[in-house]
């Protein structure tokens, strides 16, 4: 096979693996995706009580990265992104309810405007932070890094930055909540995550056909480019660029890309052991309920932990926090309650005492007592579900890294060995769909620089 038409095997058919498969196939490379379960990763469709639910990411933010992905493929946008009513949702803090973004009629609007003004120098550089290799010799990443540090100053953590701004308690508490986009408490999350509500809060969307439309679109793009997506195929060993499967078969590619959790990749290569629980990001418990009628709730409600210090202590100890982050999404008779939980690799459901207490807190805070008891059907995804996807302990963003190597400055190499690359949330962590797509664009750019396009060379 000529240098330009190098065959590529991608381990993992989640959003990152599928997005990169499309990009590399567009360059002319034959691409095969190996997925041990079914394509989509965390994003999949469940049927609960006769209703379709989309699991995984629930918001589509910062569409600039999606548009860059489409531009690289030369595709029109088929998603029909619709603004989500209420943006990032109503945040029920101990100091009062705060909608993000804050509307003009709210008493905190002037403080919100002060917050937005502080972030303005960074706004044009968010795209490069998400889609450029973290190498300071690259001019675009250097400019973006300078803009970021110009806003965050000497404050490494989200907590440090928020404290320094002296925002009113309700707004500060709402901003702290978004540190959990990094899978960590605000005292352990990079300062960048305190800025997310202002950077993306006015661009919160959902595809008209639901989040599952993103998966359908990626699979359609992949099929159109000849990508072979093999589901139910488990890789058990990786040596060089040769994959060995559960059934004993093997295949060799010219190039491999892992879209798996980096710790799982290391085990496949016969290296290393999982990090201890204290070094993991958070896991989740997702409860999907089909109600007899529309829920009397806004599209998104957010219940932060009442005390982030106690929350952090519990996570570090691998214990249940006094209370946790609860995201509640309501769409007609569809109700999703997403709880942040420690990554403890255990079965967890609505009958667990801690979960029952959290669900009572949700119903009491939102003024809907007994709402979940009225459900016609309920399905649950717990930490064991996420652990089955290859995340140690069910940790959604994998291992927790030191502050100075978190977010866009992540320590995981894109190219850990000759012929082997990495992509995905464990490598390019946090930020949801924008980070996933940005990571795919980054790796495509790096591979494109290393290997001539099949359409043009080889």
Same domain? 364 vs 419: no
Highest-pLDDT range among 18-27, 205-214, 276-285, 343-352? 18-27
Range of the domain at 121: 115-198
Lowest mean pLDDT among 173-177, 207-211, 216-220: 207-211
| 215 and 363 together in one domain | no
pLDDT at 441: 94
Is 281 a residue whose pLDDT tops 70? yes
Q: How confident is the model at residue 455 (pLDDT cuts 50, 70, 90)?
A: low
Question: If you average pLDDT over residues 210-239, what whole number do you get?
Answer: 96
pLDDT of residue 126: 86
> What is the domain-level CATH number for residue 36?
3.50.50.60
* Predicted pLDDT of residue 278: 45
Range 381-398 average pLDDT: 81
Same domain flag for 292 and 145: no
Which tokens sit at 124?
A: 């044009």
Q: Mean pLDDT across the stretch 50-74?
A: 93
Please answer whether residues 275 and 399 qualify as being in contact, where contact means their C-beta atoms are separated by less than 8 angstroms: yes
Listing DSSP states for 360-403 in one string gives HHHHHHHT-TTTGGG-SEEEEE-HHHHHHTT-GGG-TT-B---G
Confidence band (pLDDT; 50, 70, 90) for 345? Answer: confident
Domain-located, residue 411:
yes
* Residue 238 neighbours by CB distance under 10 Å: 22
- Global pTM? 0.92
Instruction: Find, among 150, 153, 145, 149, the residue nearest to 128 by Cα.
Output: 145
Mean pLDDT of 339-343: 92
What are the tokens at 202? 């006015």
Cis peptide before 101 (omega within 30 of 0): yes
187 in a domain, yes or no?
Answer: yes
What are the structure tokens assigned to 105, written together? 């009629």
What is the number of domains present in the chain?
3
Distances (CA, A) of 216 to 19, 46, 242, 390: 12, 14, 29, 23
Assess whether 74 and 223 both reside in one domain. Answer: yes
Q: Check pLDDT > 90 for residue 183.
A: no
pLDDT at 206 over 50: yes
Residues 273 and 299 in one domain: no
Mean pLDDT for 162-173 is 98
pLDDT higher than 70, residue 3: no
Note whether 230 and 262 are same-domain residues: yes
Answer for the pair 47, 210: CB distance below 8 angstroms, yes or no: no
pLDDT digits (tens, 9 = 90+) for 100-156: 999 999 999 999 999 999 999 999 998 888 888 777 788 888 898 899 999 999 999
102 within domain boundaries: no
Phi, psi of 91 (to 5 degrees): -100, 115
User: Does residue 438 sit within a domain?
Assistant: yes
Q: Within a domain: residue 458?
A: no
Specify if 228 maps to a domain. Answer: yes
State how far the Cα of 29 lies from the Cα of 342, in Å rounded to an integer.
40
pLDDT of residue 456: 44
The answer to whether position 414 is within a domain reads: yes
The gap from C-alpha 156 to its chain's centroid, in whole angstroms, comes to: 21
Residue where a domain terminates, one of 170, 198, 226: 198
Instruction: Give yes or no for residue 385 having a pLDDT over 80.
Output: yes
204-207 vs 81-83, strand pairing mode: antiparallel
What lies within 8 Å, CB to CB, of 85 at 6+ separation is 298, 299
């Amino acid at each position: 096979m000529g240098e330009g038409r190098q065959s590529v095997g991608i381990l993992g058919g989640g959003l990152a693996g599928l997005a990169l498969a499309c990009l590399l196939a567009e360059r002319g490379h034959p691409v095969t995706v190996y997925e041990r379960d079914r394509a989509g990763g965390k994003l999949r469709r469940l049927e609960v009580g006769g209703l379709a639910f989309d699991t995984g990411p629930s918001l589509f933010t910062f569409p600039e990265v999606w548009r860059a992905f489409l531009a690289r493929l030369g595709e029109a946008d088929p998603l029909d992104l619709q603004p989500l009513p209420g943006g990032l949702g109503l945040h029920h803090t101990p100091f009062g309810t705060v909608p993000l973004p804050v509307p003009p009629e709210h008493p905190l609007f002037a403080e919100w405007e002060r917050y937005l003004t502080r972030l303005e120098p960074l706004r044009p550089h968010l795209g490069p932070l998400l889609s450029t290799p973290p190498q300071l010799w690259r001019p675009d990443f250097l400019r973006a890094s300078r803009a970021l540090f110009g806003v965050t100053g000497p404050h490494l953590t989200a907590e440090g930055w928020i404290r320094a701004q002296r925002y009113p308690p309700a707004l500060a508490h709402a901003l702290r909540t978004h540190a959990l986009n990094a899978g960590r408490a605000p005292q352990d999350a990079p300062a960048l995550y305190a800025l997310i509500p202002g950077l993306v809060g006015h661009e919160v969307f959902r595809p008209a056909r639901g989040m599952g439309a993103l998966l359908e679109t990626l699979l359609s793009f992949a099929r159109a480019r000849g990508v072979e997506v093999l589901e139910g195929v488990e890789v058990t060993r990786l040596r060089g660029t040769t994959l060995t499967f559960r059934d004993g078969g093997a295949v060799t590619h010219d190039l491999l890309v892992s879209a798996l959790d980096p710790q799982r990749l290391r085990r496949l290569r016969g290296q290393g052991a999982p990090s201890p629980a204290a070094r993991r990001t958070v896991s989740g418990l997702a409860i999907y309920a089909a109600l007899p009628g529309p829920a009397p709730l806004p599209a998104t409600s957010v219940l932060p932990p009442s005390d982030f210090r106690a929350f952090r202590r519990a996570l570090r100890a691998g214990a249940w926090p006094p209370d946790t982050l609860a995201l509640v999404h309501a769409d007609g008779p569809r109700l999703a309650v997403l709880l942040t939980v420690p990554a403890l690799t255990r079965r967890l459901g609505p009958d667990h005492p801690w979960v029952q207490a959290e669900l009572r807190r949700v119903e009491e805070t939102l003024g809907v007592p007994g709402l979940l008891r009225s459900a016609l059907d309920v399905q649950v995804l717990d930490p064991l579900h996420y652990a089955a996807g290859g995340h140690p302990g069910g940790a959604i963003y994998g291992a927790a890294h030191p502050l100075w190597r978190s977010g866009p400055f992540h320590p995981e190499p894109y190219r850990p060995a000759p012929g082997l690359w990495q992509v995905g949330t464990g490598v390019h962590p946090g930020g949801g769909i924008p980070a996933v797509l940005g990571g795919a664009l980054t790796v495509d750019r790096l591979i494109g620089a290393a290997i001539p396009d099949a359409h043009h060379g080889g």
